[in-house]
């Protein structure tokens, strides 16, 4: 029987060195007895340092867990950890066998340690000691369940770099001073001041943020177990807060609703303005504002905003698309998404200056189907197009373009009020009445949907040609 005596319980390096030696020397776990100095060494063991053999490679994840698990206070931990690495050296799949008793224990114990670490990060309460040359110093007393100080101190270092601090626990202390982290022996609660000037404010906050109408004591206690309460300044208020909760709620219910605060009307300086959908709209700005309040069809319920047309009122050419897409809906401007990019490129190739065109859509609100983190475009119905035509007609009346270019079938419906195929209309110039001409072509998003590269190139060239013709017509 080999005996290993650990002088520093919870110290990973010491255990690791011993385990490495045993593993290298091929010493099976059943032939090792692990003791800590506190327990006293056995009289019969052979405690000569074991011979080191070849190196054994272990999964990194296992060593990371062992580093934490060794902090557990259970005296059997060093032995069980050794058994696990002994098995892991022979079975590379061991860690994945979560239903294995050792691995189940390992993961459960690791979880307990990680929880203990997390709770220490949360529940340490510093008290101020003073200030020296502008640098404040603080100290805290804390009683973790396991020997985790070395695993938590770096967190406090990263967080509280700019102040001096010490955390005293029964096992050990961590001290951050002169930008150096050091450790020392354990201490007692008496070393830490018994109050802090800010604690009154903290307790006031704790009391005020509590909602007496939704008492859930079990939820609180499962996350903030009672064992921590003695070192939490706010915990002394739990009992009185609970005792008064029912009466506070009852008072809220029983109190008859009082008269409105006499200042109400003075404070409410603005009453909500109703957006009138009247006919006296004289400018594109008025039109856009009125459009913002449009509730003519249900599409306004889910879309972010109505996207009004954009461009100079004196524009001679008006481009009409289908409806805003995801990006247009977010930004409130037409043709700024992927289809807008394509349109910009094609306009440039066709020799048309976007800034001199009026761009708008047949439908002003984005119609979509939510799917996880995306919104999938949905075609508007003819009904929706026809209802929204009211706005398109207003835009046409204000801009009075010589030429309207419809992009896609919805636009054609929006402008003409009739359902016609693009193919039947394309390539010719049509009269809309009042001297306005109509040219029908595809929507740029059509190009984005074509999977066949060669076909997409052909369609794109035809689109450019349509727009080049528009330029000639307008010249």
Partner 1 sequence: MTGKPILEKLSILADAAKYDASCASSGSVKRDSTETKGIGSTEGMGICHSYAPDGRCISLLKILLTNFCIYDCRFCINRASSNVPRARFNPQEVVRLTLDFYKRNYIEGLFLSSGIIRSEDYTMEQLVEVARILREEHHFQGYIHLKTIAGADPGLIALAGLYADRLSTNVELPTEAGLQSFAPEKKPETIRKTMASVRVGVDDANEAAKGRLLKKAKPPRFAPAGQSSQMIVGADGSRDDDILATATNLYSGYRLRRVYYSAYSPIPDASIDLPPVRPPLMREHRLYQADWLLRFYGFQRAEIMEGASDGMLDLHIDPKLAWALMRRDIFPVDINRAPRELLLRVPGLGTRAVDRIVAVRRTGKLRIGDLAKLTASVKKVLPFIVTPDWQPGSLTDSASLRARFAPPAEQLSLAL
Of 43 and 197, the one with the shorter C-beta distance to partner 1 is 197
Of 373 and 418, the one with the shorter C-beta distance to partner 1 is 373
Which two three-digit tokens encode residue 242?
A: 């609970």
Of 215 and 387, the one with the shorter C-beta distance to partner 1 is 215
Of 82 and 156, the one with the shorter C-beta distance to partner 1 is 156
Contacts of 325 (CB under 8 A, 6+ apart): 337, 338, 339, 366, 377, 445
Q: How far is the CB of 102 from partner 1 (least distance, A)?
A: 12
Q: How far is the CB of 94 from partner 1 (least distance, A)?
A: 9
Q: How far is the CB of 417 from partner 1 (least distance, A)?
A: 28
Q: How far is the CB of 66 from partner 1 (least distance, A)?
A: 20
Of 328 and 466, the one with the shorter C-beta distance to partner 1 is 328
Alpha-carbon distance of 447 to 440, in angstroms, equals 16
Of 129 and 387, the one with the shorter C-beta distance to partner 1 is 129
Q: Which of 62, 57, 48 is nearest to 23 (CA)?
A: 57
Of 194 and 472, the one with the shorter C-beta distance to partner 1 is 194
Q: How far is the CB of 113 from partner 1 (least distance, A)?
A: 15
Of 326 and 386, the one with the shorter C-beta distance to partner 1 is 326
Contacts of 33 (CB under 8 A, 6+ apart): 1, 2, 3, 4, 42, 45, 79
Specify whether the CB–CB gap between 70 and 27 falls below 8 A.
no
Q: How far is the CB of 266 from partner 1 (least distance, A)?
A: 9
Alpha-carbon distance of 67 to 58, in angstroms, equals 13
Please give the backbone phi and psi of residue 242, each rounded to the nearest 5 degrees, phi first.
-65, -40
Of 238 and 318, the one with the shorter C-beta distance to partner 1 is 238
Q: How far is the CB of 48 from partner 1 (least distance, A)?
A: 38
Of 304 and 341, the one with the shorter C-beta distance to partner 1 is 304
Q: How far is the CB of 166 from partner 1 (least distance, A)?
A: 13
Alpha-carbon distance of 400 to 315, in angstroms, equals 8
Count other Cβ atoms within 10 Å, centred on residue 180: 8
Q: How far is the CB of 343 from partner 1 (least distance, A)?
A: 20
Residue given tokens 């100095």 in the structure block:
37
Q: How far is the CB of 124 from partner 1 (least distance, A)?
A: 5
């Amino acid at each position: 029987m080999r005996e290993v005596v650990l002088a520093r319980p919870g110290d990973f390096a010491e255990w690791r060195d011993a385990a490495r030696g045993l593993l290298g020397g091929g010493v099976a776990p059943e032939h090792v007895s692990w003791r800590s100095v506190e327990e006293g060494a056995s009289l019969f063991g052979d405690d000569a340092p074991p011979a080191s053999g070849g190196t054994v490679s272990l999964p990194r994840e296992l060593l990371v867990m062992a580093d934490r698990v060794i902090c557990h206070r259970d005296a059997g931990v060093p032995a069980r950890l050794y058994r696990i690495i002994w098995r892991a050296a022979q079975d590379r799949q061991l860690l994945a066998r979560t239903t294995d008793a050792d691995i189940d224990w390992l993961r459960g114990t690791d979880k307990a340690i990680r929880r203990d670490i997390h709770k220490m990060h949360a529940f340490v309460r510093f008290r101020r000691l003073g200030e020296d040359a502008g640098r404040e110093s603080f100290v805290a007393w804390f009683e973790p369940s396991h020997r985790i100080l070395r695993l938590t101190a770096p967190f406090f270092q990263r967080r509280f770099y700019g102040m001096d601090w010490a955390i005293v626990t029964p096992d050990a202390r961590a001290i951050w001073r002169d930008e150096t982290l050091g450790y020392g022996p354990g201490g007692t609660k008496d070393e830490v001041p018994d109050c802090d000037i800010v604690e009154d404010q903290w307790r006031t906050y704790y009391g005020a943020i509590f909602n007496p109408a939704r008492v859930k004591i079990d939820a609180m206690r499962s996350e903030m177990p009672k064992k921590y309460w003695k070192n939490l300044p706010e915990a002394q208020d739990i009992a009185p807060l609970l005792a008064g909760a029912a009466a506070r709620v009852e008072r809220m219910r029983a109190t008859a609703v009082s008269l409105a605060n006499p200042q109400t009307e003075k404070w409410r300086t603005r009453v909500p303005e109703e957006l009138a959908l009247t006919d006296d709209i004289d400018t594109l700005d008025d039109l856009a504002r009125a459009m913002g309040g449009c509730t003519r069809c249900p599409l306004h319920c889910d879309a972010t905003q109505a996207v009004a047309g954009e461009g100079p009122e004196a524009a001679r050419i008006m481009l009409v698309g289908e409806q805003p897409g995801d990006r247009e809906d977010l930004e409130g401007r037409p043709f700024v998404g992927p289809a807008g990019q394509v349109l910009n490129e094609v306009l440039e190739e066709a020799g048309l200056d976007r800034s001199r065109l009026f761009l708008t859509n047949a439908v002003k609100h984005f119609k979509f189907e939510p799917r996880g983190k995306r919104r999938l475009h949905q075609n508007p119905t003819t009904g929706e197009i026809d209802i929204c035509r009211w706005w398109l007609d207003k835009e046409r009346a204000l801009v009075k373009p010589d030429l309207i270019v419809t992009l896609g079938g919805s636009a054609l419906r929006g402008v003409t009020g009739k359902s016609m195929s693009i193919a039947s209309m394309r390539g010719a110039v049509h009269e809309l009445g009042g001297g306005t001409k109509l040219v029908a072509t595809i929507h740029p998003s059509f190009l984005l949907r074509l999977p066949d590269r060669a076909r997409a190139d052909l369609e794109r060239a035809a689109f450019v040609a349509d727009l080049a013709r528009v330029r000639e017509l307008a010249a």
